[in-house]
Structure formats: C-alpha cells, structure tokens
Amino acid sequence: MNPNFQGLEKIPRHVAIIMDGNGRWAKERGLSRIEGHKEGAQSVRAILRAAAKSGVEFITVYAFSTENWKRPALEVDGLMALLVSSLNAYEQELHDNKICLRVMGQLERLPLFARKRIQKAMDATAHYTDHTFIIALSYGSRMEIADATRKIAEKVKKGEIQTKEINEQMISDHLYLPDVPNPELMIRTSGELRLSNFLLWQLSYSEFYITDTYWPDFREEQFFQALEAFNSRDRRYGGVNKK
C-alpha cells in the first residue's frame, strides 16, 4: 500500500502518540523487552518520515514517563542507552527532513551522558521550522501542571500578578512548551484505553485514535489510517454541527 496523504482534506497540525506494546511485541516473539524497544525506535523513524510526507507539523511521542523510573534498572539503563544510540544513528534524518528536536519533562533525572547527547541534537536542529519532533521524556502531565501552578504562585507571591488574573491561558503559558499548539489527534497503540498521565491539559479537545497494533508494527500505513480516521471526524469543540 502506498498511502495517499494528499487525498486527505484535513491534516492535524499536531499529533501526539502513546507508543505502547513494545514489551508485549517482544514477549510474543521470545525476545527481550529491550529488543521490543529497539524495534519501536524503527517505528519512530518511520512515523517521522510519514509526518513530513503528510504535512503534520508537530509529532509528540511519550517515550518515558515519570512512572517508568520504577521499572527494573536494567531496562531503564537499556532505554537510556537506546535513546543515545538512536540519536547517533538517526540525527542526520532530522537534518535531511528539517525537523527540530525538542524534549519536555524532568530532564535533570536523566543520566548526564543522555542529557548531553539530547542537548547536542536539540542545539543542532533548533533552527528548523518546517517540522518539530517532541520527545516526552521523564514526563508526567500532573507534574507539569503542578510545576506551572508553582510558577504562577511564585509570581503572585512577588506581586507580579494578582490571583484574579489567573485563567486558562495563563496556565497554558506556564506549561513546559507553551509555544506548541495543542494536539488535534492523539494515537495510542496496543489497544489500551487510558491517557497514562500524558498531556492531560493539552488533550482536552483532541480526537483519540486507538489501535490494537503494537507500536513496533505501527508504520506509515497505520499512521495513514489514523489520519484517515481524523479526516472523517466532525470537530465541533462543544458547539453544534451546522450542516
């Protein structure tokens, strides 16, 4: 199948993805969990290419949550090493497709070697404006909202703002990446029906697309199917369909 992205009338500007199923994919094949994560990295590569082809400007992937630190140390260490090796292997593709890399989360919790490699890639791609690839890394949405609330409270304490000035826009402005538009489409693989503490504020009016496909098997064709589903949705934002 050669997906015809140009045949879609509505393309979401921002797509968020919960990449689920790496472990189950590996288990079904008698492989280690880290092998599942490695194959999942190939899917990330494929989706970035598909996004550039389709016209999607922003892709945000949920790579590692604040809760994931509870996983066995061997798996966590393997994921950090995989992150660095993936950047080493695929950074040139970011340049080839003019993709800006950004990361959000509690990056101070990452090992130093990972932080340095991420920062190097972000600095090298910061000037690109056509497409943006955002990695949610050591990320939790409740913590993000708590951090935003703390920043606003500090400004109130200093007398910079008054409590009556606090509104939804102000909270949005104090989130990790306030300049990034909210996702219009959220994809979750492996059939799970939950948000798992991912972009709770930003996904308020997003369309959800759930697929039973494990993340390592999610490639261009599956991404096109998700965009097809989005294309068929009627987005009213709480209003009434005027058709």
For residue 59 the two structure tokens come to 């892709």
Specify whether the CB–CB gap between 41 and 116 falls below 8 A. Answer: no
Catalytic residue, candidates 4, 68, 197, 212: 68
Catalytic residue list contains 20: yes
234 is annotated as an active-site residue: no
In sequence order, the 6+-apart residues with CB closer than 8 A to the CB of 176 are: 104, 105, 144, 147
Matching residue, tokens 């999610």: 218
Which candidate in 2, 20, 123, 212 is catalytic? 20
What token pair was written down for 102?
């950004």
- What does DSSP say about strands 207-210 and 185-188: parallel, antiparallel, or unpaired? parallel
Look-up of token digits 């199923």: 21
* Cα(102)–Cα(60) distance, integer angstroms: 9
Residue 170: φ, ψ to 5°: -65, -40
Which residues are marked as active site?
20, 68
